[in-house]
Amino acid sequence: GEDVEQSLFLSVREGDSSVINCTYTDSSSTYLYWYKQEPGAGLQLLTYIFSNMDMKQDQRLTVLLNKKDKHLSLRIADTQTGDSAIYFCAESEGAAGNKLTFGGGTRVLVKP
């Protein structure tokens, strides 16, 4: 079945860039997503990328997709303390009912 893997933890200094990595196994993935979960809250969709793209930029967020290696990354520029959260990578196959498969999440801690 599908599998989505992420590293557990990332520590970064305020003002630096953060890079969160994700690997997936389903070669038929159509869309890949990044969600953010702050303490005591549900998940919030940050951005997503269609599988025929290799990059998408949205303000401080840059998503890179290497489809050959099945590797997805999220870069956060000028990381702020409000960026401290758990970040989830997810993938879906549009033709198969849009079921999402989530990774285990990367906890990002931003130090002042």
Partner 1 sequence: ETGVTQTPRHLVMGMTNKKSLKCEQHLGHNAMYWYKQSAKKPLELMFVYSLEERVENNSVPSRFSPECPNSSHLFLHLHTLQPEDSALYLCASSQRKQGRAEKLFFGSGTQLSVL
Question: What is the DSSP-derived secondary structure letter of residue 15?
Answer: T
Q: Name the phi and psi angles at 83, rounded to 5.
A: -85, -5
Q: Does 31 bind partner 1 (CB under 8 A)?
A: yes
Q: Does 85 bind partner 1 (CB under 8 A)?
A: no
Q: Does 111 bind partner 1 (CB under 8 A)?
A: no
**Which residues are CB-contacts of 60 (< 8 A; sequence separation ≥ 6)?**
76, 77, 78
Q: Does 106 bind partner 1 (CB under 8 A)?
A: no
The label of the residue with tokens 């702050």 reads 38
Q: Name the phi and psi angles at 108, rounded to 5.
A: -105, 125
Tell me which stretch binds partner 1 (CB under 8 A): 10-18, 52-60, 61-69, 94-102: 94-102
Out of 7, 23, 30, 84, which residue is the one contacting partner 1 (CB under 8 A)?
30
Of 82 and 97, the one with the shorter C-beta distance to partner 1 is: 97
Q: Are strands 71-76 and 100-102 parallel, antiparallel or unpaired?
A: unpaired
| Binding site residues, partner 1, CB under 8 A | 4, 30-31, 33, 35, 40-45, 48, 50, 88, 92, 94-95, 97-100, 102-105
